[in-house]
Structure 1
Amino acid sequence: MNIGVDAAALGMSNAVVSNTGDVNSGYWNPAGLINLEDSQASIMHASYFANIAQYDYAAYAKPIDDKSAWGISLIRFGVDDILNTTQLIDGDGNIDYNRISLFSTADYGLTLSYARKLQVPGFQYGVNAKVIRRVIGKFANSWGFGFDVGLQFEKNNWKYGLMLRDITTTFNVWSIDEDEYNKIKDAVPGENQELPESTEITLPKAQFGFSKKFEFHNDTSLLVATNLNMQFTKTNDLIATDFVSIDPAIGFEYGYTDLVFLRLGVGNFQNITQIDNSKKVGFQPNIGLGFKYKGIQVDYALTDLGDQSAALYSNIFSVKVDLSIFR
């Protein structure tokens, strides 16, 4: 639930909390759903770790009236067809490849979103209710629940946004198949002797952002957006204290006639300690490209450009459709 959705947003390093205003707002800041003029749908696909893991997303949203809107989205991150070799050796100590089976591990996130304008001019808010489902083959599975709250404000062409994720703390409760666990707990002497904890929690996080779009006379525009991503614990983020750690991100979107878009973003600034104990600041640059025509928008993002964080590149594609074109 922290990876992000929509290639357009990922191309700007996720710096969209203040300016998001489409179907994907259900993920970034549900307050942005207020800006919908009609129903929209969105899908996205990305592959991670040399195509080992697949990340998929689909969303739908529509206005309720001129003061409110709703949306629904589903995320799946999974690794399929994993070899289960726990029974590779039979009771007599012989290797039997017929005993190998396949399983999948996947995480699902279902989000229901609602947004509404406040009485104060320029203010709008949104809330998310999330259901988290995690499955590790037949070995274990869990259910979780959580809530997000978002706020947006606009004045003098400046936009501001605040997103509070997992505001109530998101809890996942695991159910572990003890029969399957007992088959492997003695595979490594002294390891896995006790069942893992059955409760997993996700602590609250906050994102604050601001942005402005500059319009030029030659039918071009430039959107500049900044995010401050906050965790309430000490991490390796660029700014880290015992109370809060802050990872800044900045994104740019250059548009021509609201038809073609070029995007650039830099984020994930981390303090890195190298092997020789020297310090350096790592970061993750992203780029993106988008096309929009008659209510259909196709976007592409290449993340982790330059391999600053020693991760693998990710190619991300997404499509957004204004469903009014079918009427």
Structure 2
Amino acid sequence: MKYRILLFLLISPFFLNAQAFRNYSNEFLNIGVDAAALGMSKAVVATTNNVNAIYWNPAGLVGIEDYQGSLMYASYFAGIANYNYAAFAMPIDKNSALGVSVIRFGVDDILNTTELIDSNGNIDFNRISLFSAADYAFNVAYARNLIFKDLKIGVNAKVVRRIIGDFATSWGFGFDAGLQFERNDWYFGLMIRDITTTYNTWAIDEDEFNKIQNAIPGQNQELPETTEITKPKIQLGVAKNWRIGRFFNLQSEVDLNIRFEQTNDIFSSSIASIDPAVGFQLDYDKLVYLRLGVGNFQYITEFDNSKTLSTQPNFGLGFNYKGIQIDYALTNIGSIGNAQYSNIFSVTVDYSFFRR
């Protein structure tokens, strides 16, 4: 219970002090999906080629040959927050494909204590209610070959729905676009997220807001801004496949995650910052997978103002049998500092196996 009270206190300032131009709007969309990709520190922009390409790079959807589905469930903060993902993709013809997905990141059963103390100063625990804070993203992706089959393009239209109990709700809309190019076991990828910027428009319930005003006299007296804009981000990837003997295959990829702002990333300026990620996947005859990755290279300022470089290692395993692939990753939530690591599981089903 005490964790949920704390979480409510942390969430409230989010919508009470929202700004029109937020550098970190819709951050739940940066967490990532699919345990296989998370085990490689998200370094998959150049090589993603199944249903999960809807998220990582929609151009990779051209690689699917039949119906595919994917599910992922993750629990964060000792089970307080849940992160769920479901996707479906199918080829339209030999040169194009279509996919849809939904993402939900939510915290349920949060204690609403805004009416805990009545106008006479009496505490009544029966006045405590529960609410949920949940973020949703609905995606529709389309991909096709360009000119020749080695060059692929994909676009992703997304609708974002955010709900904070009865206090506030928002709708958002944006686009992503991606390219992939393959030649002689070399792979190149480009992903531009929020290419047109993603707009979120908030609707705030004034009656509920008045309760917050009364709960903390003298604080939160002004309505927050009702518009957020998510800035574009770019991901560049290059990868190489290596054949090792008869049964083993090694896939390696390096991605550069570029944001147009100054941050604590290892490469940062007033114009842009770059956070690299490196991932490796070793498989045995496409049956068993071992994955390693490292990313989130950040400079941390210590108490004595000195700076140290921190990194985030990731680990993953996978098993593919008769069209069903089960993946596991040990990673932390959204690459946030020293947050506790979580166990992530996902399942991907390829219907082409069942047609054989």
Whether TM-score is above 0.5 comes out as: yes
Secondary structure in structure 2 of the residue aligned to 1:43 = strand
Q: Are 2:258 and 1:239 equivalent residues in the alignment?
A: no
Contact 2:95 2:145 in 1 (8 A): yes
Counterpart amino acid of residue 220 in structure 2: N
TM-score (structure 2 length as normaliser): 0.89
Aligned sequence identity (%): 63
Match of 1:93?
A: 121
Q: Are 2:179 and 1:161 equivalent residues in the alignment?
A: no
Measured in 1, the distance between the counterparts of 2:326 and 2:51 equals 14
Equivalent of 2:228, from 200, 222, 225? 200
Question: How much has 1:5 moved relative to structure 2?
Answer: 0.2
Equivalent of 1:81, from 105, 109, 118? 109
Q: Are 2:44 and 1:13 equivalent residues in the alignment?
A: no
Counterpart amino acid of residue 203 in structure 2: S
Secondary structure in structure 2 of the residue aligned to 1:122 = strand
Match of 1:185?
A: 213
Counterpart amino acid of residue 345 in structure 2: F
Contact 2:115 2:215 in 1 (8 A): no
Counterpart amino acid of residue 161 in structure 1: G
Equivalent of 1:107, from 121, 135, 144? 135
Q: Normalized per residue, which structure has more helix?
A: 2
Secondary structure in structure 2 of the residue aligned to 1:184 = helix
Secondary structure in structure 2 of the residue aligned to 1:185 = helix
Secondary structure in structure 2 of the residue aligned to 1:230 = strand
Q: Are 2:244 and 1:216 equivalent residues in the alignment?
A: yes
Match of 1:22?
A: 50
Measured in 1, the distance between the counterparts of 2:162 and 2:350 equals 32
Match of 2:284?
A: 256
Measured in 2, the distance between the counterparts of 1:253 and 1:27 equals 19
Contact 2:69 2:350 in 1 (8 A): yes
Q: 1:304 to 1:178 in 2, by over 3 A?
A: closer
Unaligned 5+ segments in structure 1 are none
Measured in 1, the distance between the counterparts of 2:85 and 2:336 equals 26
Question: How much has 1:326 moved relative to structure 2?
Answer: 4.4
Match of 2:307?
A: 279
Question: How much has 1:205 moved relative to structure 2?
Answer: 0.2
CA deviation vs aligned residue, 1:59-90 (integer Å, no higher than 9, x gap)? 00000000100000000000000011111112
Match of 1:303?
A: 331
Measured in 1, the distance between the counterparts of 2:320 and 2:179 equals 27
Contact 2:163 2:169 in 1 (8 A): yes
Provide the aligned C-alpha RMSD in A. 1.4
Contact 1:72 1:110 in 2 (8 A): yes
